[in-house]
Amino acid sequence: MTKNIDLSKENLFPVGELFNSENFSGQVWLKMLTQDPSCPVANVTFAPGCRNNWHWHHGGQLLLVTGGRGYYQEWGQPARELHPGDVVEIPAEVKHWHGAAPESWFSHLAIELHPELGPAQWLEPVADEDYSQLK
Amino acid sequence: MTKNIDLSKENLFPVGELFNSENFSGQVWLKMLTQDPSCPVANVTFAPGCRNNWHWHHGGQLLLVTGGRGYYQEWGQPARELHPGDVVEIPAEVKHWHGAAPESWFSHLAIELHPELGPAQWLEPVADEDYSQLK
Protein backbone atom coordinates (compact mmCIF):
# COMPACT_ATOMS: atom_id res chain seq x y z
CA MET A 1 0.00 0.00 0.00
CA THR A 2 1.54 3.26 -1.14
CA LYS A 3 1.21 6.30 1.12
CA ASN A 4 -1.39 8.74 -0.19
CA ILE A 5 0.97 11.71 -0.50
CA ASP A 6 -0.53 15.14 -1.35
CA LEU A 7 1.08 15.39 -4.81
CA SER A 8 0.22 19.09 -5.10
CA LYS A 9 2.81 19.66 -2.34
CA GLU A 10 5.32 16.88 -2.98
CA ASN A 11 5.92 15.91 -6.60
CA LEU A 12 8.80 14.71 -8.77
CA PHE A 13 8.24 17.51 -11.34
CA PRO A 14 7.02 21.09 -10.83
CA VAL A 15 3.29 21.13 -10.06
CA GLY A 16 2.33 24.54 -11.42
CA GLU A 17 -0.97 26.22 -10.67
CA LEU A 18 -4.51 25.08 -10.03
CA PHE A 19 -6.05 24.70 -13.47
CA ASN A 20 -9.58 25.98 -13.84
CA SER A 21 -11.21 23.97 -16.62
CA GLU A 22 -14.74 22.86 -17.41
CA ASN A 23 -13.17 19.70 -18.87
CA PHE A 24 -12.23 18.32 -15.42
CA SER A 25 -14.33 17.22 -12.44
CA GLY A 26 -12.39 18.11 -9.28
CA GLN A 27 -9.12 19.91 -8.57
CA VAL A 28 -6.24 19.60 -11.05
CA TRP A 29 -2.84 21.28 -11.24
CA LEU A 30 -1.05 21.84 -14.57
CA LYS A 31 2.52 22.77 -15.39
CA MET A 32 3.95 22.93 -18.90
CA LEU A 33 7.51 21.59 -18.71
CA THR A 34 8.66 22.40 -22.25
CA GLN A 35 8.70 25.34 -24.59
CA ASP A 36 9.20 23.48 -27.90
CA PRO A 37 5.73 23.55 -29.53
CA SER A 38 6.48 20.35 -31.46
CA CYS A 39 6.56 18.24 -28.24
CA PRO A 40 4.44 19.71 -25.43
CA VAL A 41 5.05 17.94 -22.11
CA ALA A 42 2.83 18.78 -19.13
CA ASN A 43 2.87 17.61 -15.53
CA VAL A 44 -0.77 16.96 -14.53
CA THR A 45 -1.68 16.41 -10.87
CA PHE A 46 -5.15 15.24 -9.88
CA ALA A 47 -6.60 15.55 -6.37
CA PRO A 48 -8.36 12.40 -5.13
CA GLY A 49 -11.56 11.89 -7.13
CA CYS A 50 -10.54 14.26 -9.92
CA ARG A 51 -10.74 13.10 -13.53
CA ASN A 52 -11.12 14.68 -16.92
CA ASN A 53 -14.11 14.42 -19.24
CA TRP A 54 -14.22 11.97 -22.09
CA HIS A 55 -12.07 13.34 -24.93
CA TRP A 56 -9.85 12.37 -27.83
CA HIS A 57 -6.72 13.68 -29.53
CA HIS A 58 -6.18 14.14 -33.25
CA GLY A 59 -2.58 12.89 -32.93
CA GLY A 60 -2.69 10.70 -29.83
CA GLN A 61 -1.09 11.23 -26.43
CA LEU A 62 1.45 9.57 -24.12
CA LEU A 63 0.96 9.31 -20.35
CA LEU A 64 3.95 8.59 -18.06
CA VAL A 65 2.74 7.96 -14.51
CA THR A 66 4.96 9.49 -11.81
CA GLY A 67 2.90 9.27 -8.62
CA GLY A 68 -0.21 8.05 -6.83
CA ARG A 69 -2.91 5.80 -8.26
CA GLY A 70 -5.37 6.45 -11.05
CA TYR A 71 -7.19 5.15 -14.07
CA TYR A 72 -7.25 5.28 -17.86
CA GLN A 73 -10.33 4.12 -19.71
CA GLU A 74 -11.21 3.87 -23.38
CA TRP A 75 -14.86 4.05 -24.42
CA GLY A 76 -16.47 0.60 -24.21
CA GLN A 77 -13.46 -0.93 -22.38
CA PRO A 78 -12.83 -1.65 -18.69
CA ALA A 79 -10.81 0.99 -16.80
CA ARG A 80 -7.07 0.26 -16.48
CA GLU A 81 -5.59 0.97 -13.04
CA LEU A 82 -2.38 3.01 -13.21
CA HIS A 83 0.63 3.16 -10.90
CA PRO A 84 3.99 4.99 -10.96
CA GLY A 85 6.14 3.75 -13.84
CA ASP A 86 3.18 2.86 -16.06
CA VAL A 87 3.07 4.16 -19.62
CA VAL A 88 -0.09 4.64 -21.68
CA GLU A 89 0.09 5.15 -25.43
CA ILE A 90 -3.27 6.65 -26.36
CA PRO A 91 -4.03 6.18 -30.06
CA ALA A 92 -5.28 9.05 -32.19
CA GLU A 93 -9.02 9.63 -32.20
CA VAL A 94 -9.79 7.09 -29.45
CA LYS A 95 -12.34 8.40 -26.93
CA HIS A 96 -11.00 8.08 -23.36
CA TRP A 97 -10.58 9.69 -19.93
CA HIS A 98 -7.90 9.60 -17.22
CA GLY A 99 -7.67 10.73 -13.65
CA ALA A 100 -7.19 9.86 -10.01
CA ALA A 101 -8.71 6.98 -8.09
CA PRO A 102 -11.58 8.14 -5.83
CA GLU A 103 -9.39 8.34 -2.71
CA SER A 104 -5.87 8.73 -4.15
CA TRP A 105 -3.75 11.56 -5.51
CA PHE A 106 -2.42 10.93 -9.03
CA SER A 107 0.25 12.51 -11.26
CA HIS A 108 1.30 11.82 -14.81
CA LEU A 109 3.34 13.51 -17.48
CA ALA A 110 1.25 14.04 -20.61
CA ILE A 111 2.91 14.34 -24.01
CA GLU A 112 0.78 15.53 -26.90
CA LEU A 113 1.65 13.76 -30.15
CA HIS A 114 1.46 15.58 -33.47
CA PRO A 115 0.16 18.77 -31.81
CA GLU A 116 0.10 20.42 -35.23
CA LEU A 117 -3.09 18.41 -35.89
CA GLY A 118 -5.01 20.59 -33.43
CA PRO A 119 -6.30 20.58 -29.84
CA ALA A 120 -8.04 17.78 -27.95
CA GLN A 121 -11.76 17.33 -28.61
CA TRP A 122 -13.68 17.46 -25.32
CA LEU A 123 -16.91 15.55 -24.75
CA GLU A 124 -19.21 14.70 -21.81
CA PRO A 125 -18.13 14.07 -18.18
CA VAL A 126 -17.53 10.52 -16.97
CA ALA A 127 -20.82 9.39 -15.46
CA ASP A 128 -20.76 9.46 -11.64
CA GLU A 129 -22.39 6.02 -11.51
CA ASP A 130 -19.51 4.58 -13.57
CA TYR A 131 -16.68 6.43 -11.78
CA SER A 132 -18.08 5.59 -8.34
CA GLN A 133 -17.69 1.87 -9.08
CA LEU A 134 -13.89 2.28 -9.23
CA LYS A 135 -11.91 1.66 -6.06
CA MET B 1 21.81 15.24 0.60
CA THR B 2 19.87 12.63 -1.38
CA LYS B 3 20.57 8.97 -0.70
CA ASN B 4 22.65 7.42 -3.47
CA ILE B 5 20.15 4.72 -4.42
CA ASP B 6 21.20 2.02 -6.92
CA LEU B 7 18.84 3.13 -9.68
CA SER B 8 19.41 -0.07 -11.66
CA LYS B 9 17.51 -1.86 -8.86
CA GLU B 10 15.07 0.81 -7.69
CA ASN B 11 13.68 3.15 -10.33
CA LEU B 12 10.43 4.97 -11.08
CA PHE B 13 10.23 3.51 -14.62
CA PRO B 14 11.35 0.09 -15.93
CA VAL B 15 15.15 -0.08 -16.14
CA GLY B 16 15.59 -2.58 -18.96
CA GLU B 17 18.87 -4.24 -19.77
CA LEU B 18 22.52 -3.27 -19.56
CA PHE B 19 23.23 -1.45 -22.80
CA ASN B 20 26.51 -2.28 -24.48
CA SER B 21 27.53 0.76 -26.49
CA GLU B 22 30.82 2.29 -27.59
CA ASN B 23 29.12 5.67 -27.20
CA PHE B 24 29.09 5.47 -23.39
CA SER B 25 31.88 5.37 -20.80
CA GLY B 26 30.70 3.18 -17.93
CA GLN B 27 27.62 1.07 -17.26
CA VAL B 28 24.26 2.20 -18.63
CA TRP B 29 20.81 0.59 -18.70
CA LEU B 30 18.28 1.34 -21.42
CA LYS B 31 14.55 0.65 -21.69
CA MET B 32 12.33 1.86 -24.52
CA LEU B 33 8.99 2.82 -22.96
CA THR B 34 7.00 3.48 -26.13
CA GLN B 35 6.24 1.75 -29.39
CA ASP B 36 5.10 4.76 -31.43
CA PRO B 37 8.06 5.54 -33.72
CA SER B 38 7.05 9.22 -33.92
CA CYS B 39 7.84 9.82 -30.22
CA PRO B 40 10.48 7.43 -28.85
CA VAL B 41 10.76 7.67 -25.04
CA ALA B 42 13.58 5.80 -23.29
CA ASN B 43 14.45 5.38 -19.62
CA VAL B 44 18.24 5.77 -19.33
CA THR B 45 20.02 4.81 -16.09
CA PHE B 46 23.69 5.66 -15.57
CA ALA B 47 25.91 4.01 -12.94
CA PRO B 48 28.07 6.48 -10.98
CA GLY B 49 30.72 7.92 -13.29
CA CYS B 50 28.95 6.84 -16.49
CA ARG B 51 28.37 9.38 -19.24
CA ASN B 52 27.84 9.34 -22.96
CA ASN B 53 30.21 10.70 -25.62
CA TRP B 54 29.77 14.11 -27.15
CA HIS B 55 26.94 13.89 -29.70
CA TRP B 56 24.14 15.84 -31.33
CA HIS B 57 20.65 15.19 -32.64
CA HIS B 58 19.22 16.24 -35.97
CA GLY B 59 15.87 17.07 -34.35
CA GLY B 60 16.81 17.81 -30.73
CA GLN B 61 16.04 15.85 -27.57
CA LEU B 62 14.21 16.29 -24.25
CA LEU B 63 15.58 15.02 -20.94
CA LEU B 64 13.26 14.59 -17.93
CA VAL B 65 15.30 13.78 -14.82
CA THR B 66 13.71 11.18 -12.55
CA GLY B 67 16.48 10.16 -10.12
CA GLY B 68 19.97 10.70 -8.77
CA ARG B 69 22.37 13.49 -9.76
CA GLY B 70 24.08 14.15 -13.07
CA TYR B 71 25.19 16.68 -15.63
CA TYR B 72 24.34 18.10 -19.05
CA GLN B 73 26.95 20.07 -20.93
CA GLU B 74 26.95 21.85 -24.26
CA TRP B 75 30.23 22.30 -26.12
CA GLY B 76 32.01 25.44 -24.90
CA GLN B 77 29.61 25.92 -21.95
CA PRO B 78 29.91 25.04 -18.25
CA ALA B 79 28.27 21.77 -17.19
CA ARG B 80 24.75 22.11 -15.72
CA GLU B 81 24.10 19.98 -12.64
CA LEU B 82 20.83 18.02 -12.86
CA HIS B 83 18.45 16.79 -10.17
CA PRO B 84 15.08 14.98 -10.18
CA GLY B 85 12.37 17.18 -11.72
CA ASP B 86 14.78 19.03 -14.01
CA VAL B 87 13.97 19.30 -17.69
CA VAL B 88 16.54 19.88 -20.45
CA GLU B 89 15.44 20.94 -23.93
CA ILE B 90 18.41 20.12 -26.16
CA PRO B 91 18.29 22.10 -29.40
CA ALA B 92 18.85 20.42 -32.75
CA GLU B 93 22.46 20.10 -33.88
CA VAL B 94 23.98 21.32 -30.58
CA LYS B 95 26.99 19.22 -29.50
CA HIS B 96 26.53 17.97 -25.91
CA TRP B 97 26.85 15.09 -23.45
CA HIS B 98 24.91 13.94 -20.39
CA GLY B 99 25.45 11.43 -17.65
CA ALA B 100 25.93 10.72 -13.96
CA ALA B 101 28.00 12.64 -11.46
CA PRO B 102 31.24 10.80 -10.62
CA GLU B 103 29.84 9.23 -7.45
CA SER B 104 26.08 9.28 -8.03
CA TRP B 105 23.56 7.16 -9.86
CA PHE B 106 21.45 9.08 -12.41
CA SER B 107 18.26 8.42 -14.40
CA HIS B 108 16.43 10.45 -17.00
CA LEU B 109 13.74 9.89 -19.56
CA ALA B 110 15.01 10.81 -23.03
CA ILE B 111 12.57 11.83 -25.76
CA GLU B 112 13.89 12.04 -29.28
CA LEU B 113 12.37 14.92 -31.24
CA HIS B 114 11.69 14.65 -34.95
CA PRO B 115 13.17 11.12 -35.10
CA GLU B 116 12.34 11.01 -38.79
CA LEU B 117 15.39 13.27 -39.31
CA GLY B 118 17.71 10.39 -38.47
CA PRO B 119 19.81 8.99 -35.62
CA ALA B 120 22.12 10.86 -33.22
CA GLN B 121 25.57 11.74 -34.51
CA TRP B 122 28.21 10.36 -32.12
CA LEU B 123 31.57 12.04 -31.57
CA GLU B 124 34.54 11.75 -29.18
CA PRO B 125 34.37 10.79 -25.48
CA VAL B 126 34.25 13.50 -22.82
CA ALA B 127 37.87 14.07 -21.80
CA ASP B 128 38.71 12.43 -18.47
CA GLU B 129 40.50 15.60 -17.33
CA ASP B 130 37.29 17.60 -17.86
CA TYR B 131 34.88 15.05 -16.38
CA SER B 132 37.10 14.49 -13.34
CA GLN B 133 36.73 18.16 -12.37
CA LEU B 134 32.98 17.65 -11.78
CA LYS B 135 31.83 16.82 -8.25
Q: What is the CA radius of gyration of chain B?
A: 14
pTM: 0.96
Contact in structure between B66 and B74 (CB atoms under 8 Å) = no
Query: For residue B3, what pLDDT is reported?
Result: 84
The CATH number fitting domain B17-131, selected from 2.60.120.10, 1.10.150.130, 3.10.450.50, 3.40.50.1860:
2.60.120.10
Q: Which of A54, A44, A48 has the alpha carbon at shortest distance from A23?
A: A54
Cβ atoms A23, A52 nearer than 8 A: yes
Q: Do A41 and B64 touch (CB under 8 A)?
A: yes
Identify the pLDDT of residue B10.
97
Q: What is the pLDDT of residues A32-66, one digit of tens each?
A: 999 999 899 999 999 999 999 999 999 999 999 99
Are residues B64 and A41 in contact, defined by beta-carbon separation less than 8 angstroms? Answer: yes
Query: What is the reported pLDDT for B2?
Result: 67
**Measured distance CA(B113)–CA(A2) in Å, rounded:** 34
Mean pLDDT (chain B, rounded):
97
> What residues contact residue A22 under an 8 Å CB cut-off, 6+ apart?
none
Q: Which of B2, B7, B10, B41 is the mutation pick for testing A, counting most A CBs within 10 A?
A: B41
- Render pLDDT for B10-26 as a digit per residue (tens, 0 to 9): 999 999 999 999 999 99
For residue A38, which of A115, A105, A108 has the smallest C-alpha distance? A115
- Cross-chain CB nearest to A85 (options B14, B62, B87): B14
Indicate the domain borders of chain B. Answer: 17-131
Q: Span B39-56, mean pLDDT? A: 98
User: How many residues are listed for chain A in this entry?
Assistant: 135
Note the pLDDT of residue A3: 83
pLDDT above 60 (res B1): no
Give me the residues of chain A with pLDDT under 70, please: 1-2
